[in-house]
A and B are shown apart, each in its own frame.
Chain A
Amino acid sequence: MIHIQQIRKSYRMGALSLEVLKGIDLTINEGELVSIMGPSGSGKSTLLNILGILDQYQEGEYHLAGTLMKNLSERKAAYYRNHYLGFVFQSFHLLEFKNALENVALPLYYQKVSRRRRNRQAMELLERVGLADRAQHMPNELSGGQKQRVAIARALISDPKVILADEPTGALDSQTSDQVMDLFREVNASGKTVVIVTHEAEIAAKTARTIHLRDGVVQNETHQVGAAS
């Protein structure tokens, strides 16, 4: 599903060039539940953004579902983001002036799905994440855990192949973190590839496979026995 080879990425800062990813090789198969772990500043977010076609890379190749993702036009990038990928962010990134239902339905709007159909689908997903009774609530009327569940529902609505989550539990207490992680495992169990970036070992422990990142290279990989995959 995800196949990257010798990805290099550096940020230009004036005259200096800061190399953040220093040649990363990684293959993630369809249906895997993977975590990317590493200390702060190790390049986890940078890697995930590249996987999400939100950012560009300078060297190497990235194939998503067999297609090379390099130098895409903005329209193409929007298409792949919309159809193949679902994002979940640490700070949720919901639109404040839209209620939970509308937030969940938004990706389908960009797929030109009719209003009635996308609201119906959004409602189904809210039920699935256990928030059907909060459908009409605005984001500021929801707790952190609820917001993240709405965000997960939104990531799922376009029926993407891959869910990418950047520190999805970073802003949550441990109990809600567990709930959110359970939800991710459930999503994974339904057949979706899930990639979670985290710096917490407890979170990584709930995934089947952990890729350890350090200073822009893959240090090693660990597999958790007993974790769902």
Chain B
Amino acid sequence: MFDYDKWQEIFATIMKNKLRTLLTMFGVFWGLFLMLLLLGTGEGLRNGVTKDFSAWATSSGFVWGRRTTLPYKGLRPGRAINFDLDDALAIENEIAELDALAPRIQLGGFGGSNNVVYGDKTAAFSVYGDVPAYHRLLKVDFVKGRGINPRDVAERRKIAVIGSEVHRVLYAKGEDPIGTYIRLNGVFFKVVGVFKSRRTGNAAGRDVQSVHVPLTAAQQAFNRGKGIDWFGFIAKSGSSAAVVEGKMMDVIKRRKRIHPDDVNALGHNNLEEDFNRMRGLFDGLRWFVWFVGLGTLAAGVIGVSNIMLIVVRERTREIGIRRAIGATPLSIVTLIIQEAVVLTAFAGYVGLLLGIGVIEALNQVVGTNASMFLRPSVDFQTAVLSLVILVVGGCLAGLIPAQRAASIRPIEAIQS
């Protein structure tokens, strides 16, 4: 089927109708180009948005105390709920699905910021008391030094891990902060590590403008006793964050004597739903892109089919002559279909290359700077799939014209 003569003939007809061929091929080219561009940018958007998610442990969340709204066991509503280390122990003991608990305190309370002093420089940053698990809950990358380890917590070491922005603001350019002492609320802590955020945009900004010290050291230094501001948690892999969250709240409600139906006494948030919603959104987006892309492609293929019909009509005489000298209908059919396939495949291939090229260029230009856009790309599978679709589309485009061509009776063609 793919012999030299057919190629020569296809080339000849293409060269005979350059402009028309070009316009037709543009339809297919544009279809594939747009589809790839949409898929690539969709992927970039997904990467950009899910990058922030990938910093989080997959199955994780937070639980915090608020005020009761229902009377219970003689206790009046409006009571503030505060946690301490005993609650943390109880939760860890009772919940099997819990991988790690990250009890936290923040200097100045939730959302508070405090003066951090190094030498003669002072700036306001968030200061947290944390356990090692927190850096598993919200992952960061250490540029220098180390994170908080279990011994830091056990021995109440006055060490600090600082965000890269803290480093930049408080220290002279190029100055190594490891081993230096910063003052938090008048207490000296030795800097042992500097980290970068894995998130982007505002979230990343918040991450790197914070200082983490061992939970126990913070409790002692800032006179917080055994107090805990809120809990972070990581569910065991395969367990649902929502389930762990529910069980945690049950334990707390029992211990704090909160009415079981009091939904306002505790605040909670887990990323599971966000994860799923996000995944659903992007899966939907991907389907949408395929839908639009295939639609455009179909329009291009129909264009090819139309042109082929016109070409067949113009070639009626030629096809008649071929039939008169012994061409079988099948050989005419394959000729036309092959031509349609070549047109669509070539045009599509150019669209494919250009689409990938533009996406790569976008990748180079945008880099890792944009907050919602990262590594736009089209994977190999998608590229191959779209090529297969094209070839099939080309066959379909050739089918009707080929049938028309095969039905040409030599006598009519020769008489005309």
Question: Which residues of A are in contact with B by a Cβ distance under 8 Å?
Answer: 49, 52, 54-55, 74-75, 78-79, 81-83, 87, 89, 93-95, 97-98, 106-107, 109-111, 115, 154, 158
Contact = CB atoms under 8 A, between A and B. Distances in A.
Given A75-B328, A75-B329, A107-B326, 6 more contacts: A49-B411, A75-B330, A78-B323, A78-B328, A93-B317, A97-B12
Contacts of A94: 321
Nearest to A52: B324
A155 to B, nearest CB: 8
A87 B12 contact: no
27 contacts: A54-B324, A54-B409, A54-B410, A54-B411, A54-B414, A55-B411, A75-B329, A75-B330, A78-B326, A78-B327, A78-B328, A81-B323, A87-B324, A89-B414, A93-B321, A93-B324, A97-B9, A97-B13, A106-B325, A107-B325, A107-B326, A110-B322, A110-B326, A110-B331, A115-B3, A115-B4, A158-B325
Contacts of B326: 78-79, 81-83, 107, 110-111, 158
B318 interface: yes
Contact of A110 (B327, B406, B409): B327
Contacts of B410: 54
B16 interface: yes
Interface string B394-414: 000000000000100111001
A93 B331 CA distance: 19
A78 B328 CA distance: 6
A154 B9 CA distance: 18
A91 to B, nearest CB: 9
B255 to A, nearest CB: 89
Contacts of A109: 5
Contact of B325 (A55, A75, A81, A115): A81
Contacts of A93: 317, 321, 324, 414
B5 A87 contact: no
Contacts of B4: 115
B326 to A, nearest CB: 3
B7 to A, nearest CB: 12
- Most chain B beta-carbon neighbours within 10 Å: one of A55, A78, A94, A158: A78
Contacts of A52: 324
A74 B323 CA distance: 9
A141 B16 CA distance: 17
In the A-B complex, the 3 residue pairs with the smallest Cβ-Cβ separation, listed nearest first, are A82-B326, A110-B326, A97-B12
Contacts of A95: 318, 321-322
Interface string B301-337: 0000000000000000110011111111111000000
Nearest to A106: B325
Contacts of A111: 326
A31 to B, nearest CB: 23
A99 to B, nearest CB: 11
- Most chain A beta-carbon neighbours within 10 Å: one of B12, B13, B16, B326: B326
B414 A115 contact: no
A110 B328 contact: yes
A89 B4 CA distance: 28
Contacts of A158: 325-326
Nearest to B410: A54
B328 to A, nearest CB: 4
Given A95-B321, A97-B16, A106-B322, A78 B329 contact: yes
Contacts of A55: 411
A169 B9 CA distance: 30
Contacts of B13: 97
Contacts of A154: 325
Nearest to A74: B329
Nearest to B3: A115
A204 B236 CA distance: 102
- Most chain A beta-carbon neighbours within 10 Å: one of B13, B409, B411: B411
Contacts of B5: 109, 115
- Most chain A beta-carbon neighbours within 10 Å: one of B12, B13, B321, B406: B321
A53 B396 CA distance: 32
Interface in B41-81: none
Contacts of A74: 328-329, 406
